[in-house]
Amino acid sequence: MNDFPTDLAPLIGTWRGQGHGDYPTIEAFDYFEEVTFSTIPGKPFLVYIQKTKHAETGAPLHAEAGYVRSAGPGRIEMTIAQPTGIVEIHTGTVADGVYSFASETVATTPTAVDVTACIRTLTVAGNELSYVFSMEAVGEPMTKHLVATLTRV
């Protein structure tokens, strides 16, 4: 693990918390979330696993998985796949615990909902991880879909 990128280290762990979702085309909702960023011995990247459930009904909601890698000091990349037929390819920067990702590509399967661009901003402050997720989708301009705050468990 000697070569593990120091930029990625603050993300390592399992995080749990609550989020709020909204978009101009849908009803607002609240959700519970669990995120894990884990290492593989000797590899310079993080494995990312996320799952959510509805805050009122407990029903499973969105889930996704992917990888985060360093692209040199202060520069980061992320790939994310979703069971809804959406794949995000991100590049970004990290400074002072703020990980700012913007999609290079969002690819969708033929039957997936139309998403053309995403922005993800994660902020790590000690044992708290908060994020904002915005997307350009279903004909809407870049608009916030999710905000959440998680705690390292």
List contacts with ligand HEM (CB under 6 A): 19, 21, 23, 25-26, 29, 31, 33, 52, 61-62, 86, 88, 113, 115, 118, 133, 135, 137-138, 145-146
Contacts for 137 with CB less than 8 Å, ≥ 6 apart: 23, 113, 114, 115, 116, 145
> Whole-number minimum distance, CB 153 to ligand HEM, in Å?
17
Tell me the torsion sign for CA atoms 93, 78, 104, 34: negative
CB-based contact 101:78 (threshold 8 Å): yes
| Minimum CB distance to ligand HEM, residue 72 (Å) | 26
Task: Rank residues 8 and 145 by Cβ distance to ligand HEM and give the closer one.
Answer: 145
51 vs 75, beta carbon nearer ligand HEM: 51
d(CA 70, CA 85) in angstroms, rounded, equals 26
Q: Minimum distance between the CB of residue 88 and ligand HEM, rounded to whole angstroms?
A: 6
